[in-house]
Amino acid sequence: MGVDLLQSSARARDLFSLVDDVTGLPITELCEQGPLERLTDTEIAQPAVVATSLAALAVLRESLEVFEPAAVAGHSVGEFAAYVAGGALDEEAALRLVHARAQAMAAACQTVDGTMAAVIGLDQDVLRGVCAEASQDGSTVELANLNSPGQLIISGDRAAIDRAAERARAAGARRVLPLTVGGPFHSVYMRPAVAALDAALSTATFRAARVPVIANVTAQPITQTEDLRHELSVQVYSPVRWIETLRRMQELGCDRFIEVGPGTVLSGLVKRTLPEAHVVNFGALADLEGVRSLVAEAAG
């Protein structure tokens, strides 16, 4: 993950060195060599994803004469990289906050046998009712990620997830797919992580964003420092309203999207939510020509 960027850019190498220093963890080595099982641990995965995204952002800024988005958004932990892209955090501050978040969330995960599952082909209001019915005897399941029409993620205690999966299939879901994750993210079970995260947020230096950041929690544009700080606190236990986020960006005039960082998951969500939008991803040098073409179209 990010190896191509590491090998081609001094700025990317500096960022990976920074995340190693900030976390005290061998993030660079794990990104280069694995093993995957270790790389997907919560404490490793979150800073690794953000570092790779920041490295990709740095390479884009080096490679393009003009690269200033009209608005930015990040899905879950990706919101930290979005803050950097929007000028609200510098790279070191973002990586320190992600490290604190990952540690706090990993600790919260130890208190519950929790997981997440993808529900395909069910309306979100129906699924919200399913989750309410499946939450019993102190065992809770909630909507966690509203990713795209027909693709929703639920999160919670494993027993409640199992009950919700059965009820979702009975309600007409085409598929319910267990996810390999470190815990029940974006659910009430992450509330214990807030105190440690807030302590880190209180000492971090935020700036007013240059461009609107569309917040996960509200799907509204934010730019002011206290709003930005509050968003990063509450989003760990709140649903990611990604469908509304993309539609809000469209309302702001965004019709071209660049996914910056590892993978193409978000590009797929854009295509499903905004079929008329143009979208490319940038996670390796081979993707650069597609980004150049998209930026040229926007400028033209």
pLDDT of residue 68: 87
Is the pLDDT assigned to residue 300 strictly greater than 80?
A: no
CATH class of domain segment(s) 113-182: alpha beta
Nearest to 121 by CA among 279, 272, 278: 272
- The average pLDDT across 227-237 equals 98
Domain 3-108+190-246 falls in which CATH fold?
Answer: Malonyl-Coenzyme A Acyl Carrier Protein; domain 2 (3.40.366)
Question: Sign (positive/negative) of CA torsion 221, 226, 232, 236?
Answer: negative
Domain boundaries, the chain: 3-108+190-246, 113-182
pLDDT of residue 1: 86
Distance of CA 188 to the CA centre of its chain: 18
Q: Could you read off the pLDDT of 156-208 as tens digits, one per residue?
A: 999 999 999 999 999 999 999 999 999 999 999 999 999 999 999 999 999 99
pTM: 0.96
Quickly state the pLDDT bin for 10 (edges 50, 70, 90).
very high
Quickly state the pLDDT bin for 299 (edges 50, 70, 90).
confident
Strands, E assignment, 53-164: 114-120, 141-148, 151-157
High-pLDDT (> 70) share of the chain, %: 100
Q: Would you name the residues annotated as active-site residues?
A: 76, 186
- The average pLDDT across 127-145 equals 97
